[in-house]
Structure 1
Amino acid sequence: MSNIDTHDTDYEDDDFVSRSQRKREVEALQDIGTKMIDLRPDQLKRMPIDETLYDAIVEAKRLSSRNALKRQMQYIGKLMRHEDGDAIQAQLDRFDSTSEAHNQMFHKLEKWRDRLIANESGMLDVIINEYSTIDVQHLRQLVRNAQKEKADNKAPAASRKLFKYLRQLEESKQA
């Protein structure tokens, strides 16, 4: 009676990925590529991608033939395998107004604006330290205008301008 173990537990291939799983991963990368084709040129320039992929996406925007676009999408998918898909997806989420990351950024900026208008101590210093490209004099002027507007119970036009300025600072920081 021989006690032969047909299943070797010492050797299991944990790195095995099925063909179906690889196809799903490639399709996910192609979907990310499709989303990048829909970006505006200024947004595309802020994506963390290399020059070859950038050129391929610009070329795909130019194509009108369905078959040519399909081939170009496959090429973009191939190039995407060498990119950091998570970083690209995170940047796409920042551009997508329905994404959680985009909403979190907006909520943070709204809180900062409200704290500035409420003249909360130290908030101005936090914002100045956060953004290196800030025009402090302009920011203080926007805050004063928004505070005056709130005191006079006027429509929040200056408050919107303050929020817009904070959003521009955040976007320039991410670029």
Structure 2
Amino acid sequence: MTEFPEEHEDQQDDEKSKSQVKREMHAYQELGRRLIGLKPAQLDKLELTDKLRAALEEAHRHTARGALKRHLSYVGKLVREQPDIESIQNLVDRLDSNSQAHAQYFHQLERWRDRLLTGKPGEQEAFLEAYPSADRQTVRQLVRQATREAAEEKPPAAARKLFKLIREAAENS
């Protein structure tokens, strides 16, 4: 996770050193680079300005190294102007499979799947309360199928479908 530098308390009158400004610029550009790598459906979940959305769409047209570098600088400038950079950073980290936030998110989904597969009705109710967009009947069917597959020692196809349903419910909430 890229940390966005905070202002040092010992600096007077909000003056930043040249290296501090440079570190911030690189952090914004790195976040911009990561935003460029996201799919349009993932970008739709973020509250971005229209200018930044247009710049992210345009980034794929720049193939020359120099042009892409200049465009990344522009995207970094636009990222800096975003009202809620922290929520953007959190979602990007959650979507990046190499980040710790993604691992935590993935483990949370796995815990929900494991809790549902215990077969206790209270767990299903807790899940449906946490994610009201999930279809109650589909959850019950997949839990029953997964339990049956486990008892018969078959491949866990229903458990995989259940995990996919949990992930979709979490993304829609």
Structure 1 length as normaliser, TM-score?
Answer: 0.85
Quote the Cα distance in structure 2 between the aligned partners of 1:124 and 1:62.
47
> Quick one: which amino acid aligns to residue 82 of structure 1?
E
The gaps in structure 1 that reach 5 residues or longer are 1-11
Report what 1:69 is aligned to: 68
Instruction: After TM superposition, give the deviation of residue 160 of structure 1 in Å.
Output: 1.0
Report what 1:48 is aligned to: 47
Instruction: After TM superposition, give the deviation of residue 121 of structure 1 in Å.
Output: 4.3
Identity level (%): 46
Quote the Cα distance in structure 2 between the aligned partners of 1:115 and 1:46.
27
Report what 1:85 is aligned to: 85
Quote the Cα distance in structure 2 between the aligned partners of 1:81 and 1:23.
13
Contact 1:29–1:85, Cα closer than 8 Å, also in 2: no
Look at both structures and tell me which one has the larger radius of gyration over its CA atoms. Answer: 1
Quote the Cα distance in structure 2 between the aligned partners of 1:66 and 1:105.
35
Quote the Cα distance in structure 2 between the aligned partners of 1:162 and 1:120.
15
Structure 2 length as normaliser, TM-score?
Answer: 0.86
Structure 1 vs Structure 2 CA RMSD? 1.8
Superposition misfits of 4+ residues, deviation over 3 angstroms? none
Question: What pairs with 1:143-162 in structure 2 (closer than 5 Å)?
Answer: 143-162=143-162
Instruction: After TM superposition, give the deviation of residue 112 of structure 1 in Å.
Output: 1.5
Contact 2:109–2:163, Cα closer than 8 Å, also in 1: yes
Q: How many residues align?
A: 163
The gaps in structure 2 that reach 5 residues or longer are 1-10
1:124-160 superposed Cα distances (whole Å, 9 cap, x missing partner): 1111111131111111111110111112222211111
